[in-house]
Amino acid sequence: MTACYTAQKVAAGIWHIWDPMGVGMTLLVGTQRALLFDTGYGLWDLKGFLQSFCPKPLTVLLSHAHPDHVLGALRLGECVSLHEADFPYLGRYSSQCIRQMNLDAARAKGLAPDSWACEHYLHAPMPGAVPLAAQRFDLGGLHVRVLPLPGHTPGSIGLLVEERELLLLADSWNPQTWLFFPECCPVERYRQSMRALTGLTYKQVLVSHDPFPRGEAALRGFIDGLTDQVLEGALPYRVPGHECFPTRCCEPAPQSPFIFDAAKWKPVRLKPHPGT
């Protein structure tokens, strides 16, 4: 089956682009520039797809260093920005071994990568990556604020599109949120990152593994549900292909499971007051 990207217009100047392998990226278009948040797996002609409806100069930000977010940079031929805390993982997750796994997975799903992928995907060099320096981008009538969100990886980031009251969270929140890879931060650090979002003004949220926008109330419910009691009640949970991790699962909010490494969770307990 021949596959290609699809794009859903979320708001004026905002497109959520869906990779056939099941991950999203978001294109933000102002009057002067465009910004692409994440790049997908890179098995299809992402640059051609973007240029078909957005010829403006492009800035590329990566939410974190995992392969389904960075390998599309192979297609763009542009320098990309990544939080420096994730630089140690970029080489591992863009390796030839990971690329071969992606090709095999696509073929197993009956998805046919284009000829470029088959011939060059395994060996094409990654474009240059530079540490993310800017905290806010002006695209022309569209201002984008960078939000540090250490948790899923130490350098994970999100974005707030101010004029559209839109929050982009990548893998920091998903239909099934994962916090068990070796590079993941402790659960408490992730919880602090998510609680820092509560002071922001937004109405919609886009995440990497849901093609549709989510509402503000759903995210706030998830954050409020990340309590010690809920986390301590998490049950052992088997993640296929990741059985080596002591994963546990809880539901901070209905139909929003949180799966984490039990070794990275220590409840925050208040010290007893002296004399009690």
- Least confident interval from 55-59, 187-191, 203-207: 55-59
Judged against a pLDDT cut of 70, whether residue 1 lies above it is answered with: no
For residues 275 and 234, what is the distance between their CA atoms, to the nearest angstrom?
34
Output the pLDDT for position 270: 43
At 76, is the pLDDT very low, low, confident or very high (cuts 50, 70, 90)? very high
Q: What is the pLDDT of residue 196?
A: 97
Whether the Cβ atoms of residue 90 and residue 126 lie closer than 8 Å to each other: yes
Q: pLDDT digits over 39-63, tens only?
A: 999 999 999 999 887 889 999 999 9
Q: Tell me how many degrees the CA angle 67-35-175 measures, rounded to the nearest 5.
A: 50
Half-sphere exposure of 33 (CA within 13 A, CB side): 13
Q: What percent of the chain has pLDDT over 90?
A: 86
Query: In the structure, what pLDDT confidence band is assigned to residue 22 with cuts at 50, 70 and 90?
Result: very high
pLDDT at 115 (0 to 100): 82
Tokens representing residue 13 in the block: 């100047």
For all residues of the chain together, what is the average pLDDT? 93
User: Quick check: helix, strand or coil at residue 167?
Assistant: strand
DSSP state at residue 110: T
pLDDT band at 273; cut points 50, 70, 90: very low
Chain segment 134-183, per-residue pLDDT in tens: 899 999 999 999 999 999 999 999 999 999 999 999 999 999 999 999 99
CATH no. of 6-264: 3.60.15.10
Q: 72-86, 154-168, 216-230: which range is least confident on average?
A: 72-86
